């Protein structure tokens, strides 16, 4: 297998290193803007240095090495149609053609497409072609706006009110500057929240999603200083980020899928490559900041060291349109990536600074990769990727931009961050980096910020043995951010309980916790409940909801979730306590009562006897059967569960969102 990589930065070093650890031992070649020694050490031949946006040069490079596959790293070649030229010459390419790549290369194309595909997820925006229209758009948006140059501007085309633009005059002057070179400017509402990136492999039909990552664009600690290409980033072991709720990731995944479909519908060309969604997690869930048509840099440096599936397998599936038959497995570990940059970066990074970095750090095997002896990637390893660095007279020197990146992986963010820092300390290079990326202090600030704007969403775990119909409304309201709650996990004691399908439909992680041991005997209740508590704690659940969970919970469980576990019962307790489902409705009818209802109560060791939080009633009519009554009560239960979550939250959290 011969693979040509286009691009020669740290992202492409990470791609080369990941491809190099494939079982297929590919022959790697590179067409780049400079001779990156990290990439070159992995290639069969010296890097071909040239204009990577030149379609003729790209086809020549692919022919020269008889490439079986070409992988394009940066956006610039996508913008000039390098993929089109290569594909037309018969080379399979990971990286979209020029037209679908406009999702990144034209801000107005992107916004117009998103407006059709997912209008609810984008800010108010205006595409303007002259100064008068620009002034009108700024007038409409008030003080919270972003001005975006329409085409590619190497990350420097976006200017944000308050950060880069400090008055209407400055904003108009920037619009004038952009309009002098291009026909359009996009002016849009400034989004408030926390940014994150969600990248997906796609063949234009299916998507395989990667863990969420947070990048840090500002040059200096505490998010101060000028914008950069990205000073570092982190990802967490659960595929989410500490300040996100589970549904943020699910919504972002779904948006990427809808956008892939939307691009295909609009351009009639399947998007083959990596789709990078840039999101802002805000009050009402994630909104789309931007789309990129490639791997993020530094995001790739977090994700690729964690990728367990052979990247060649994924690439092959992308180019052959068979991604639905493939998987992308990532080690469930955290990662922290930090870029080291020369003095003066980003304005004028020093060039030619000598780096005393032993070759084994960036060329295989030691500088190579995170593959353990078991053949799997494993946490606790550190990878080093060279970016803007080159060899001059046999010495490694800076080239002015981001020089190299160190990625630590670990069981959690703390160990990953420490791993990265200890390598950086050991290297003692004359470079600077942001020490705060991935640290507890910075992450706590992100969490506090999200809590302040989202009023601290409650993390809910659901236990159920049957369909879980009554929890559907809660799931939907949480998913659309109508209530500050997030369903983090569903657990069942029945292997094929339909509630598992409900969870899968809403991308909620689910667990079947078997009540029997391997030899078929029933687990003692305490032991079962210990496992239950362990799973709920793993998901950092604040509140447990039992919806038709056919088990009596032990004292140990009740202690562990004291005043934090609720059950919904299909009668007006204390009447008809102890009964389940249809039996309760049959008993209500047999009793001749003309009113029934449902109760949400705290779980205590005594069955159906805990303090009542919400009760709701309805009429029993003479023609009712247990089935008709069940349907009526279930509607009540759905509303009662939402109300119970709201009341529980009000009792447990202050107005500012802090736990009482
Ligand atoms: N992480 C920002 C980018 O790759 O564009």
With a 6 Å cutoff on the Cβ, whether 296 touches ligand 1 is yes
How is residue 219 written in tokens? 């040059």
Half-sphere exposure of 120 (CA within 13 A, CB side): 10
With a 6 Å cutoff on the Cβ, whether 529 touches ligand 1 is no
With a 6 Å cutoff on the Cβ, whether 417 touches ligand 1 is no
Asked if residue 282 lies in contact with residue 199, where contact means CB atoms within 8 angstroms, the answer is no
With a 6 Å cutoff on the Cβ, whether 290 touches ligand 1 is no
Signed CA dihedral, 440, 441, 443, 447: sign only: positive
With a 6 Å cutoff on the Cβ, whether 297 touches ligand 1 is yes
The rounded Å distance from CA 38 to ligand 1 centre is 21
**Ligand 1 mutation target, pool 291, 295, 299, most atoms within 8 A of CB:** 299
**Of the candidate ranges 389-393, 464-468, 649-653, the one whose mean pLDDT is the lowest:** 649-653
The rounded Å distance from CA 278 to ligand 1 centre is 9
Residue whose token pair is 């351009």: 267
With a 6 Å cutoff on the Cβ, whether 215 touches ligand 1 is yes
**Ligand 1 mutation target, pool 14, 15, 213, 215, most atoms within 8 A of CB:** 215
Q: Indicate whether 221 pLDDT > 90.
A: yes
Whole-number pLDDT of residue 493: 98
Whole-number pLDDT of residue 580: 85
Whole-number pLDDT of residue 530: 96
The rounded Å distance from CA 215 to ligand 1 centre is 8
**Of the candidate ranges 138-147, 360-369, 598-607, the one whose mean pLDDT is the lowest:** 360-369
The rounded Å distance from CA 168 to ligand 1 centre is 28
How is residue 345 written in tokens? 């970066």
CATH number at residue 16: 3.40.50.20
Q: Give domain status of residue 175, yes or no.
A: no
With a 6 Å cutoff on the Cβ, whether 104 touches ligand 1 is no
Which among 489, 641, 657 is positioned nearest to 570, based on CA atoms? 641
| Residue range 292-316, pLDDT digits in tens | 999 999 999 999 999 999 999 999 9
Q: Give domain status of residue 51, yes or no.
A: yes
Q: How far is CA 82 from the centre of its chain?
A: 29
With a 6 Å cutoff on the Cβ, whether 230 touches ligand 1 is yes
Whole-number pLDDT of residue 367: 40
The rounded Å distance from CA 297 to ligand 1 centre is 5
**Ligand 1 mutation target, pool 11, 278, 437, most atoms within 8 A of CB:** 278
With a 6 Å cutoff on the Cβ, whether 299 touches ligand 1 is yes
Q: Give domain status of residue 601, yes or no.
A: yes
Q: Give domain status of residue 305, yes or no.
A: no
Q: Give domain status of residue 293, yes or no.
A: no
Q: Give domain status of residue 327, yes or no.
A: no
| Listed residues 29, 63, 94: the one ending a domain | 94
pLDDT, mean over the chain: 93
The rounded Å distance from CA 295 to ligand 1 centre is 8
Q: Give domain status of residue 341, yes or no.
A: no
- 378 pLDDT tier (thresholds 50, 70, 90): low
How far is 341 from 225, CA to CA, in rounded Å?
14
- 456 pLDDT tier (thresholds 50, 70, 90): confident
With a 6 Å cutoff on the Cβ, whether 421 touches ligand 1 is no
Whole-number pLDDT of residue 374: 35
Q: DSSP state, 165?
A: B
How far is 255 from 444, CA to CA, in rounded Å?
27
Residues 604-641 as b or e (16 or more Cβ within 10 Å = b): beeebebeebbbbeeebeeebebeebbebbbebbbebb
How far is 30 from 341, CA to CA, in rounded Å?
24
Asked if residue 28 lies in contact with residue 3, where contact means CB atoms within 8 angstroms, the answer is yes
With a 6 Å cutoff on the Cβ, whether 302 touches ligand 1 is no
Instruction: Pick the most confident of 125-129, 155-159, 303-307.
Output: 303-307
How far is 99 from 109, CA to CA, in rounded Å?
10
Q: Give domain status of residue 548, yes or no.
A: yes
| Listed residues 65, 94, 123: the one ending a domain | 94
Whole-number pLDDT of residue 183: 84
Whole-number pLDDT of residue 379: 63
How far is 91 from 119, CA to CA, in rounded Å?
36
The rounded Å distance from CA 274 to ligand 1 centre is 13
Signed CA dihedral, 23, 24, 25, 29: sign only: negative
Domain count of the chain? Answer: 2
How far is 295 from 291, CA to CA, in rounded Å?
11
Q: Indicate whether 655 pLDDT > 80.
A: no
Q: Indicate whether 517 pLDDT > 50.
A: yes
Mean pLDDT of 548-561: 95
- 652 pLDDT tier (thresholds 50, 70, 90): confident
Q: Indicate whether 659 pLDDT > 70.
A: no
- Which range of residues forms the domain containing residue 557? 455-650
Percent of the chain predicted with pLDDT > 90? 86
Residue nearest to atom 5 of ligand 1 (CA): 296
The CA–CA distances, whole Å, from 340 to 217, 361, 369, 385 equal 13, 14, 19, 10
In the chain, count of helices (H) and strands (E)?
Answer: 20, 30
Whole-number pLDDT of residue 303: 98
Helix (H) or strand (E) holding 89, with range, is none
How is residue 653 written in tokens? 């959290």
Q: Burial level of 124, CB count in 10 A (0-12/13-18/19+)?
A: exposed
Whole-number pLDDT of residue 247: 87
Query: Which atom in ligand 1 lies closest to the alpha carbon of residue 75?
Result: 5
Residue whose token pair is 């780049």: 32
With a 6 Å cutoff on the Cβ, whether 292 touches ligand 1 is yes
Q: Indicate whether 373 pLDDT > 70.
A: no
- 368 pLDDT tier (thresholds 50, 70, 90): very low
| Residue range 165-190, pLDDT digits in tens | 999 999 999 999 999 888 899 999 99
With a 6 Å cutoff on the Cβ, whether 408 touches ligand 1 is no
Query: Which atom in ligand 1 lies closest to the alpha carbon of residue 294?
Result: 4
| Residue range 17-75, pLDDT digits in tens | 999 999 999 999 999 999 999 999 999 999 999 999 999 999 999 999 999 999 999 99
CATH number at residue 553: 3.40.50.170
Residue whose token pair is 């209740």: 525
The rounded Å distance from CA 228 to ligand 1 centre is 10
**Of the candidate ranges 35-44, 358-367, 413-422, 482-491, the one whose mean pLDDT is the lowest:** 358-367
Three-state DSSP at 649 gives: helix
Whole-number pLDDT of residue 656: 56
Residue nearest to atom 3 of ligand 1 (CA): 296
**Ligand 1 mutation target, pool 152, 214, 230, most atoms within 8 A of CB:** 230
User: Which residues 6+ apart lie within 8 Å of 49 measured at CB?
Assistant: 8, 32, 33, 34, 35
| Listed residues 94, 123, 152: the one ending a domain | 94
At residue 559, what are phi and psi to the nearest 5 degrees? -70, -45
Q: Indicate whether 366 pLDDT > 50.
A: no
Percent of the chain predicted with pLDDT > 70? 96
Whole-number pLDDT of residue 435: 98
Query: Which atom in ligand 1 lies closest to the alpha carbon of residue 299?
Result: 1
Q: Are strands 543-547 and 125-128 parallel, antiparallel or unpaired?
A: unpaired
How is residue 487 written in tokens? 């369903």
Mean pLDDT of 224-252: 93
């Amino acid at each position: 297998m011969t693979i040509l990589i286009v691009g020669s930065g740290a992202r492409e070093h990470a791609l080369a290193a990941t491809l190099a650890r494939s079982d297929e031992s590919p022959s790697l070649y590179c067409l780049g803007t400079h001779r990156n020694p990290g990439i070159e050490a992995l290639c069969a031949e010296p890097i071909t240095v040239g204009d990577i946006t030149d379609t003729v040069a790209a086809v020549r490079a692919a022919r020269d090495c008889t490439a079986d596959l070409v992988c394009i790293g940066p956006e610039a070649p996508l913008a000039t149609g390098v993929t089109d030229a290569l594909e037309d010459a018969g080379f399979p390419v990971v990286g979209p053609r020029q037209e679908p790549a406009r999702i990144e290369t034209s801000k107005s194309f992107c916004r117009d497409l998103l407006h059709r595909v997912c209008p609810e997820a984008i800010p108010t925006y205006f595409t303007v072609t002259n100064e008068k229209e620009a002034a009108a758009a700024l007038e409409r948006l008030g003080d919270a706006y972003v001005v975006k140059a329409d085409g590619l501007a190497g990350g420097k085309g976006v200017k944000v009110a308050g950060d880069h633009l400090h008055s209407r005059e400055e904003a108009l002057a920037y619009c004038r500057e952009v309009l002098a070179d291009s026909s359009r400017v996009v002016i849009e509402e400034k989004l408030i929240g926390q940014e994150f990136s969600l990248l997906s492999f796609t063949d234009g039909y299916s998507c395989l999603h990667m863990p969420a990552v947070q990048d840090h664009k500002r040059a200096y600690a505490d998010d101060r200083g000028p914008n950069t290409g990205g000073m570092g980033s982190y990802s967490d072991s659960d595929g989410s980020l500490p300040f996100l709720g589970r549904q943020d990731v699910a919504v972002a995944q779904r948006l990427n899928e809808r956008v892939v479909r939307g691009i295909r519908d609009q351009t009639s060309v399947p998007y083959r490559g990596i789709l990078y969604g840039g999101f802002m997690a805000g009050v009402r869930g994630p909104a789309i900041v931007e789309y990129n048509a490639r791997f993020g840099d530094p995001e790739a440096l977090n994700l690729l060291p964690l990728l367990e599936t052979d990247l060649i397998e994924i690439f092959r599936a992308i180019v052959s349109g068979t991604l639905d038959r493939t998987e992308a497995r990532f080690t469930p570990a955290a990662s922290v990536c930090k870029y080291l940059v020369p003095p003066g970066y980003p304005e004028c990074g020093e060039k030619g600074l000598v780096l005393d970095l032993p070759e084994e750090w960036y060329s295989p095997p030691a500088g190579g990769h995170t593959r353990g002896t078991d053949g799997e990637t494993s946490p606790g390893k550190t990878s080093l990727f060279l970016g803007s660095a080159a060899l001059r007279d046999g010495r490694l020197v800076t080239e002015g931009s981001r020089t190299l990146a160190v990625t630590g992986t670990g069981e959690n963010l703390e160990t990953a961050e420490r791993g990265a820092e200890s390598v950086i300390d050991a290297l003692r290079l004359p470079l600077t980096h942001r020490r705060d990326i991935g640290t507890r202090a910075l992450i706590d600030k992100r969490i506090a910020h999200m809590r302040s704007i989202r009023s601290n969403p409650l993390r809910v775990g659901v236990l159920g043995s049957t369909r879980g119909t009554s929890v559907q409304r809660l799931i939907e309201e949480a998913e659309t951010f109508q209530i500050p709650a997030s369903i983090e996990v569903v657990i069942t004691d029945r292997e094929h309980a339909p509630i598992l399908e409900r969870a899968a439909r809403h991308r909620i992680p689910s667990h079947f916790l078997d009540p029997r041991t391997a030899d078929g005997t029933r687990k003692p209740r305490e032991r079962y409940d210990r496992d239950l508590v362990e799973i709920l704690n793993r998901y950092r659940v604040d509140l447990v909801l039992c919806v038709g969970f056919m088990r009596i919970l032990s004292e140990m469980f009740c202690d562990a979730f004291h005043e934090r576990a609720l059950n919904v019962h299909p009668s007006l307790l204390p009447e008809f306590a102890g009964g389940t489902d249809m039996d309760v409705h049959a008993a209500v009818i047999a009793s001749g009562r003309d009113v029934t209802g449902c109760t949400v109560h705290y779980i205590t060791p005594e069955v159906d006897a805990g303090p009542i939080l919400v009760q709701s009633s309805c009429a029993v009519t003479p023609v009712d059967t247990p089935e008709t009554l069940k349907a009526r009560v279930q509607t009540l239960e759905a509303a009662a569960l939402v109300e119970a979550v709201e009341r529980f939250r009000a009792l447990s959290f202050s107005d500012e969102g802090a736990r009482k």
